[in-house]
Copies of this chain bind each other. A is one copy, B any other.
């Protein structure tokens, strides 16, 4: 703990995801005082045909 869930569209490279979890873990650790080993990060990718803003799926655009 803390547990961090990041929902985003697909398209990021493995390198970007590696940097993402590293930098987010540092940010959480520095500001909350939790040790880095206690920070869990989960990435969830949203499908464009399953995600809508303003009533329109992103895959429709």
What is the total number of copies of this protein in its complex? 6
Knowing A42-B46, A51-B43, the reply to whether A56 touches B6 (Cβ < 8 A) is no
Please determine whether B53 and A17 come into contact, CB atoms closer than 8 angstroms.
no
Q: 1/0 per residue A3-34: CB within 8 Å of B?
A: 11111110010101111111111111011111
Distance between A30 CB and nearest chain B CB, rounded to angstroms: 7
Give the number of residues in A that approach B within 8 Å (Cβ atoms). Answer: 51
- The one of B9, B27, B57 that contacts A27, using a Cβ cutoff of 8 Å: B27
Question: Which residues of chain B have C-beta atoms less than 8 A from A24's C-beta?
Answer: 4, 24, 27-28, 31
Question: Which residues of chain B have C-beta atoms less than 8 A from A3's C-beta?
Answer: 3, 6-8
Distance between A33 CB and nearest chain B CB, rounded to angstroms: 8
